[in-house]
Amino acid sequence: MGLEKEYVGVMHLHKEVPEEVIRKTILNFVGKIKQLPPVKSAVARREREREIYFFDILEIEGRDVLFKVGCEAGTYIRKLVHDLGRALMVGAHMAELRRTKVGNFIEEQSHSLMEVKDAYEFWKEGNEKPLKGLLINVEEAIEHVKKVFVKDSAVDSICNGSPVYPNALTRMQKEIIAGETVAVFSLKNELVAIGIAKMDAEKMLKAKRGTTVRTDRVFMKKGTYPSWK
């Protein structure tokens, strides 16, 4: 849920505005911006900072502006369009919006609910090929999550809910920060568990005792890891 997002949408201006004015004004909405969540939102209505990575105009037809925007998670695109309309002093609202990317997942990888339903029906009839064609490995789904790798001998205890202790680690990504979610991998690049880093990567390397990662969710069944059986 905290991954960067990308959208394509249509902004409808309430009055016509010269294209050069739109393009010039939109530059003020790239980078760090302040946003007040709309009245109907799931979060407290307090001003907060969000980052807009890019805000590109793809096409203009009359008062309709086709745009593409890349932004930090938690950005309200409807509010972004509204605020741009105010900056243009003509008003604007969002007519259409489509999410085209979330983290490393792109629109072309998506499947319709009908495709999923049909694949499920085939699976119930004994044909698992369509369903397998829709699914991806869990390891691919968490490519954006930083990783630690553990010894074969530690896998079983982690599968049983044990935290990751310093003597279980073989290596980890250097950018890990205490408090963030990390993935615990086996030496065969298989996901064992997801947890919360209790130390920065630098401290993990030097630690002799304590907990390096608190195990939150186990993905590998206890006793199934073959390398040490």
**Would you state the pLDDT for residue 142?**
85
Q: What is the CATH number of the domain that holds 177?
A: 2.30.130.10
**Would you state the pLDDT for residue 192?**
94
Query: Digits of tens for pLDDT over the chain (229 positions)?
Result: 678 999 999 999 999 999 999 999 999 999 999 998 877 777 777 889 999 999 999 999 999 999 999 999 999 999 999 999 999 999 999 999 999 999 888 888 889 999 999 999 999 999 999 999 898 888 888 888 999 999 999 999 999 999 999 999 999 998 999 999 999 999 999 999 999 999 999 999 899 999 999 999 998 876 665 544 4
Nearest CA-CA partner of 153 in 209, 228, 213, 88: 228
Residues 164 and 208 in one domain: yes
- Whole-angstrom distance, CA of residue 47 vs CA of residue 37: 7
Residues 63 and 98 in one domain: yes
Q: What is the CATH number of the domain that holds 55?
A: 3.30.70.3190
Alpha helix (H) residue ranges in 10-76:
19-26
Q: Tell me the residue range of the domain where 187 lies.
A: 142-223
Both structure tokens of 2? 């905290």
pTM: 0.74
Residues 40 and 11 in one domain: yes
Q: How many domains does the chain have?
A: 3
**Would you state the pLDDT for residue 228?**
44
**Would you state the pLDDT for residue 220?**
82
Distances (CA, A) of 50 to 81, 102, 213, 214: 14, 16, 29, 29
Q: Is 154 part of a structural domain of the chain? A: yes
DSSP state of 128: -
